[in-house]
Amino acid sequence: MRQDLPSGTVAFLFTDIEGSTKLLHSLGAEGYAEALAEHRLLIREACSRHDGAEVDTQGDAFFFGFPTAPGALAAAGEMTKALASAPIPVRIGLHTGTPLLTDVGYVGQDVHRAARIGALGHGGQVLVSSATAVLTGPSGSEPQRCLSPISASIA
C-alpha cells in the first residue's frame, strides 16, 4: 500500500487541459512547453499547500488525493485563480469517496466517477460532485456546479 497517499475518505481532484492539441498548434512547441511547465508548477504548488498528494500524471492531466474535501476545493480555487490569465484552459473535477488504496494508488468506482466529473467540464470550470459539495458547504466567492449522484455516475 502506498504510504504517501491519504486513506479512508479521500477527496479526488482531476485536472485536464481543454483543447491541448489546438493550443500546441497555436503556441508552437516551445511556447506550449513553457506554458505547460508553468501550468504544472502552479497546480503542484496549489495542491501541495492544501495537503494534496500527487497520485498520477499523464500528458497534461493530473490526479491528486486530499485528506479533506475542503482542502481539495481550496486547491482547485487557488489554481483556477492562478491559471486564469494563463493561455492554458484547465478543467477541474472533484469527488469524494472511499477507494481501495493499493501499492500503485487508488482503485474503485469513486476514482472513475471523479475522472468523469472532471472530463465534463470546460476550461476554467471546477465541477464538484454532490458528495464533495456536502462536505465543503458554501464556498463563498467560488462558483460551483454540483452534479447529482445520477449525473456523476456516468459509466
> What separation in angstroms does the CA of 120 have from each of 17, 82, 89?
12, 21, 14
- Write out the DSSP string of 26-74: HHHHHHHHHHHHHHHHHHHHHHHHTT-EEEEEETTEEEEEES-HHHHHH
φ and ψ at 11, to 5 degrees? Answer: -95, 125
- pLDDT band, very low/low/confident/very high, at 145 (cuts 50, 70, 90): very low
Domain ranges of the chain: 10-153
pLDDT of residue 152 exceeding 80, the answer is no
- pLDDT band, very low/low/confident/very high, at 146 (cuts 50, 70, 90): very low
Quick one: fold of 10-153?
Alpha-Beta Plaits (3.30.70)
Percent share of the chain, pLDDT over 70: 88
The pLDDT tens digits for 62-79 are 999 999 999 999 999 999
Average pLDDT over residues 118-137: 92
What global pTM score does this model have? 0.86
